[in-house]
């Protein structure tokens, strides 16, 4: 597995001033000509996603990269990769023998004012920098996402996530269930929070995408191990300019959103 060369020359770009968001105006220039990518600290990545990403909460983070403006050298987006809390997810992609070789793309956020293709530029140029070979990501159907950025960066589409019901606690809905009920049985959750405060909610299904950060024979071997069927990309109707937040899925049993 080979890492790509850095997308910037350290002698040309001084260290970015973390905490300052880029406010430059951009035309439709190539992302490579106006942006550079640099690994950022966990604290920086989490601050940005909590303040700006629609979920407004932290996520597993082993590697995080920022998208920076070459003009002002400030940040305008991040992508976060981490090891999922779900052992079922880790083992379910290519089997238990590859479960330690999996990252999940847990957060992706870029300012709305950036030019088209900025997201695919950030994702596509950081995948090869990772130290694991299997990357999985999900697109939230209930947010109107279909995964255009993953399609643009050559992920395999592997259908919808499984139906699942999460245990919820009143007042803690903003947290992931693994935060307040990690490795706890239902009875233990009832005892800790009170049965009257606990309820169940069906988890929205998501589009599942898988990328193999490998080449040649190794990549073919991983594809053979893949537990999911590789399917055609979901069809989309793009509203306005290219932006995955505005894409509309036409699913097998879905009306146009």
In the block, which residue shows the tokens 């929070």? 193
Query: What's the rounded Cα separation, in Å, for the pair 253 and 100?
Result: 35
CB atoms within 10 A of CB 59: 21
Which pLDDT score, from 0 to 100, does residue 102 have? 98
What are the distances in angstroms from CA 165 to CA 147, 183, 194, 228? 23, 15, 19, 21
Token reading at 124: 């596509």
Q: In what order do the strands lie in the sheet with 75-82?
A: 35-39, 63-69, 75-82, 102-110, 134-140, 206-212, 156-160
Report whether pLDDT(59) > 60.
Answer: yes
> Which tens digit of pLDDT belongs to each residue from 147-182?
999 999 999 999 998 766 777 788 776 666 666 677
Residue-level pLDDT at 173: 67
- Rounded distance, CA 2 to CA 212, Å? 13
Cα gap 170→11, rounded to integer Å? 52
Least confident of 76-85, 182-191, 206-215: 182-191
Q: Tell me which range, 6-20, 66-80, 190-204, is most confidently predicted by mean pLDDT.
A: 66-80
How much is the pLDDT for 2? 42
Residues 22-50, mean pLDDT to the nearest whole number = 92
Given this model, what pLDDT does residue 175 score?
65
User: Would you state the pLDDT for residue 82?
Assistant: 97
Instruction: Please report the pLDDT score of residue 176 as a whole number.
Output: 63
What is the number of other CB atoms lying within 10 angstroms of the CB of residue 221?
Answer: 13
Is the pLDDT at 250 greater than 50, yes or no? Answer: no
Mean pLDDT for the stretch of residues 125-134: 97
In the predicted structure, residue 248 carries a pLDDT above the cut 50: no
CB atoms within 10 A of CB 137: 24
Residues 128 and 3 sit within 8 Å (Cβ to Cβ):
yes
Average pLDDT over residues 45-69: 92
The SS3 assignment for 62 reads coil
Q: How many helices (H) and strands (E) does the chain have?
A: 8, 11
* Residues 42 and 167 sit within 8 Å (Cβ to Cβ): no
Distance CA(66)–CA(39), nearest Å, equals 6
Query: Domain locations in the chain?
Result: 1-161+205-257, 163-204
Q: Per-residue confidence at 43, pLDDT binned at 50, 70, 90?
A: very high
Average pLDDT over residues 230-250: 56
Residue 174: what pLDDT?
Answer: 63
What is the pLDDT of the chain when averaged over all its residues?
A: 81
pLDDT at 140 exceeding the cut of 60: yes
Name the CATH superfamily housing domain 1-161+205-257.
Gcn5-related N-acetyltransferase (GNAT) (3.40.630.30)
Do 37 and 120 contact (CB within 8 A), yes or no? no
Ranking 43-47, 216-220, 234-238, 251-255 by mean pLDDT, the lowest is 251-255
Q: How many CA atoms lie within 13 A of 189 on its CB side?
A: 21
């Amino acid at each position: 597995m080979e890492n790509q060369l850095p997308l910037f020359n350290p002698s040309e770009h001084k260290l970015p001033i973390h905490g300052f968001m880029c406010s430059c105006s951009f035309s439709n220039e190539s992302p490579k000509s106006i942006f550079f990518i640099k690994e950022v600290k966990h604290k920086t990545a989490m601050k940005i996603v909590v303040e700006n990403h629609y979920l407004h909460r932290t996520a597993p983070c082993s590697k995080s990269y920022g998208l920076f403006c070459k003009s002002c050298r400030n940040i305008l987006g991040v992508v976060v990769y981490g090891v999922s809390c779900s052992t079922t997810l880790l083992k379910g992609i290519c089997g238990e023998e590859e479960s330690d070789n999996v990252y999940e793309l847990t957060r992706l956020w870029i300012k709305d004012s950036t030019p088209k293709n900025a997201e695919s530029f950030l994702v596509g140029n950081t995948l090869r920098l990772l130290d694991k070979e299997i990357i999985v990501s999900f697109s939230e159907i209930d947010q109107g996402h279909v995964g255009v950025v993953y399609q643009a960066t050559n992920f395999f589409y592997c259908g919808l996530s499984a139906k699942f019901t999460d245990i919820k606690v009143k007042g803690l809905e903003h947290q992931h269930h693994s935060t307040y009920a990690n490795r706890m049985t239902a009875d233990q959750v009832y005892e800790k929070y009170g049965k009257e405060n606990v309820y169940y909610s069906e988890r929205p299904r998501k589009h599942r995408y898988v990328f193999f950060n490998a080449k040649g024979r190794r990549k073919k071997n991983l594809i053979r191990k893949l537990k999911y069927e590789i399917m055609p990309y979901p069809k989309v109707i793009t509203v306005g300019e290219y932006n995955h937040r505005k894409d509309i899925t036409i699913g097998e049993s879905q009306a146009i959103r």
